[in-house]
Structure 1
Amino acid sequence: MDTMRDRLAPVLSRLLDEDPRVAVVLAEIGKDGFTEALRRHPDRVINVGIREQLLVGAGAGLALTGMRPVLHTFASFLVERPFEQVKLDLGHQGVGAVLVSAAASYDWPAGGYTHMAPGDVALLDTLDGWTVHVPGHPDEAGTLLRHAVAAGDDKVYVRLSLQSNAQGRPVDGGRFLPVREGRSGVVVAVGPLLDTVLTATEGLDVTVLYATTVRPFDAAALRRATAEAGADVVLVEPYLAGTSTAAANDALADVPHRVLGLGVGRAELRRYGQAAEHTAAHGLDARTLRERISGFLGGGTTA
């Protein structure tokens, strides 16, 4: 199966052909996928080199002229390194862009901590008005990329990962999808962690919601689910643990509830290893998730 990032250049190349407002801005990474698109649209495929602050600044400049810029590089270089430009050049100036990242939290451990970004979504949460998509499958990545580009002049972040679920689902760029129904609590599985969560909760009497758009947070879906399954909620996110805890608490502010946020830990893992070893070390493997979820929700099983 191809990866989410494999879908990036084909989808954006088609959008460049279809919409004269679309521009793609790169910082060296990923340029090989746009060779043909650059030939066809030399004025709308721009490589600024390894200059990530300029990447965002150039995108904001294009947006000020009425273009719909799509910016791409690794998450740590797209959100963390040029954060001031994201905050000011886009947010302060009131213009939008589509930021599409790669490498997720720890997809390339050999790159070291400079190429890891478990805090990217939490960092964007400090800013107003961002939509955040976290696809869990290449098909969903293609769909959400198109949603992002078509979203007027909004500020949108699309978080791509090498980790993937086995099959794509009919995502719509907004709602959480109910995947399993139960009566002893709600588990929200974000993006590529759905399959692992389904394995971890097999036989447990819990509702599982699938989230591929986490900002805005689908408070209505969580409220509906907790009305049926009880107001204990576990969030399983492929980035910094607890990133969406406040959003879940806000959604349930008027009812007694408990929230457990699971995700990537704050401690830096200084050995490269493999991505699967990082997953296990952060407690995001199926066995550990089952222990933590059943321990929090009481371990009830389906009849």
Structure 2
Amino acid sequence: MDTMRERFISVTSRLLDEDPRLALVLAEISMDGFLPAQQRHPDRVVNVGIREQLLVGVGGGLALTGLRPVLHTFASFLVERPFEQIKLDFGHQGTGGVLVSASASYDWPSGGFTHMAPGDVALMDTLEGWTVHVPGHPDEAEALLRHACAAGDDKVYVRLSQQSNAEPRPVEGLRFQTVREGAGGVVLAVGPLLDNVLAATEGLGLTVLYAPTVRPFDDAALREAARSAGTGDVVLVEPYLTGTSTAAANDALADVPHRVLGLGVGRAELRRYGTIDEHTAAHGLDPRSLRERVTAFLHPPTRR
């Protein structure tokens, strides 16, 4: 199976052939994969070199001319380093575009902390009007990319990961999907952590929701799941900074008694490179750790 990043290259290359309004801006990362597309469309495939602030500035400028820009590099260089340019060149200028990241929270451990961006979605939350997609499989990434590129002048962030669920789920608009129904609690799994959540909650009789799109937050789906489960106890399992969506979940359930536990990537820097699986376990996001944490929250031991 190809990776999300490989699918991004193939799909975007085809979309550049199909849509004369589409433009691609790169900062060296993935440039080799886009060389054929650049040869076919030298005026709409731009490589600015290792200049991430310029990457965003050029994208904003292309949007002002009426093009639909797609901007791509690692998440740490796409969201964190040029954050001021995103805020100004898209938000303040009132333009739209598609930001497509790679490497996500810790997908390239040997790259070290400079190439990790667990806080990217939390940063995007400080800006108005951004749709945020977190696909859990390359097929979902393709569907969400196609939707984003054709979405008029909207502002869209597509967060690609090296991690993937074994099977894709149908992308049904921007809504959360019910994967498993149960009582006693709701677990919301985001993107590539769905398989871990399903394994962790097997046999616990809990409702499991799946979110390949996290912004806008699907308030109605969470409220309905909590009503059907008969409880306001909710666990969020996100592949980025712990607690990123806790406020959104609290707001969605503001009119009913509830408790929310946010699970995700911890704030402490893990200074050993390790592997993706080792980082997942260290942050408590592997199936065994998730089962322990979910059970402790939903079924705490009785005090005597």
TM-score category, normalised to shorter length: over 0.9
Q: Tell me what 1:198 maps to.
A: 198
Q: Tell me what 2:290 maps to.
A: 289
Note if contact 1:105-1:238 (Cα within 8 Å) is conserved in structure 2.
Answer: yes
Q: For residues 294 and 209 of structure 1, what CA distance do their matches in structure 2 show?
A: 17
Query: Secondary structure in 2 aligned to 1:128?
Result: coil
Note if contact 1:173-1:212 (Cα within 8 Å) is conserved in structure 2.
Answer: no
Any idea what the Cα deviations from partners look like across 1:141-196, whole Å, max 9, x if unmatched? 00000011111101100000010000001013401110000011100000000000
Q: For residues 8 and 173 of structure 1, what CA distance do their matches in structure 2 show?
A: 19
Q: Which runs of 5+ in 1 are unaligned?
A: none
Q: Tell me what 1:251 maps to.
A: 252
Cα offset, 1:11, TM superposition: 0.6
Please tell me whether residue 225 in structure 1 is matched to residue 225 in structure 2.
yes
Q: For residues 9 and 41 of structure 1, what CA distance do their matches in structure 2 show?
A: 14
Please tell me whether residue 8 in structure 1 is matched to residue 8 in structure 2.
yes
Matching of residues 201-212 of structure 1 within 5 Å? 201-212=201-212
Query: Secondary structure in 2 aligned to 1:85?
Result: helix
Any idea what the Cα deviations from partners look like across 1:35-89, whole Å, max 9, x if unmatched? 1111111100000000000000000000000000000000000000000000001
Query: Secondary structure in 1 aligned to 2:156?
Result: strand
Matching of residues 1-303 of structure 1 within 5 Å? 1-229=1-229, 230-298=231-299
Note if contact 1:9-1:33 (Cα within 8 Å) is conserved in structure 2.
Answer: yes
Instruction: Return structure 1 stretches of 4+ with deviation > 2 angstroms.
Output: none
Query: Secondary structure in 2 aligned to 1:236?
Result: strand
Q: For residues 212 and 169 of structure 1, what CA distance do their matches in structure 2 show?
A: 9
Note if contact 1:133-1:173 (Cα within 8 Å) is conserved in structure 2.
Answer: no
Q: For residues 173 and 82 of structure 2, what CA distance do their matches in structure 1 show?
A: 26
Aligned partner letter, 1:243: T
Q: For residues 54 and 234 of structure 2, what CA distance do their matches in structure 1 show?
A: 41
Q: For residues 173 and 70 of structure 1, what CA distance do their matches in structure 2 show?
A: 21
Q: For residues 33 and 204 of structure 2, what CA distance do their matches in structure 1 show?
A: 44
Aligned partner letter, 2:267: R
Q: For residues 300 and 69 of structure 2, what CA distance do their matches in structure 1 show?
A: 48
Q: For residues 7 and 148 of structure 1, what CA distance do their matches in structure 2 show?
A: 15
Query: Secondary structure in 2 aligned to 1:156?
Result: strand
Query: Secondary structure in 2 aligned to 1:259?
Result: strand
User: For the aligned residues, what is the CA RMSD?
Assistant: 1.0
Note if contact 1:144-1:173 (Cα within 8 Å) is conserved in structure 2.
Answer: no
The TM-score with structure 2 as length reference comes to 0.97
Query: Secondary structure in 2 aligned to 1:84?
Result: helix
Any idea what the Cα deviations from partners look like across 1:69-123, whole Å, max 9, x if unmatched? 0000000000000000000011000001100000000000110100000000000
Q: For residues 41 and 84 of structure 2, what CA distance do their matches in structure 1 show?
A: 29
Cα offset, 1:212, TM superposition: 0.4
Cα offset, 1:271, TM superposition: 0.7
Note if contact 1:184-1:297 (Cα within 8 Å) is conserved in structure 2.
Answer: yes
Equivalences, count: 300
Q: For residues 172 and 84 of structure 1, what CA distance do their matches in structure 2 show?
A: 32
Query: Secondary structure in 1 aligned to 2:8?
Result: helix
Q: Which moved more, 1:8-17 or 1:238-247?
A: 8-17
Note if contact 1:25-1:55 (Cα within 8 Å) is conserved in structure 2.
Answer: yes
Q: Which moved more, 1:91-100 or 1:167-176?
A: 167-176
Query: Secondary structure in 2 aligned to 1:210?
Result: strand
Query: Secondary structure in 1 aligned to 2:204?
Result: coil
* Cα 1:275–1:116 shift into 2, 3 Å: same
Q: Which runs of 5+ in 2 are unaligned?
A: none
Cα offset, 1:299, TM superposition: 7.4
Query: Secondary structure in 2 aligned to 1:70?
Result: strand
Aligned partner letter, 1:291: E
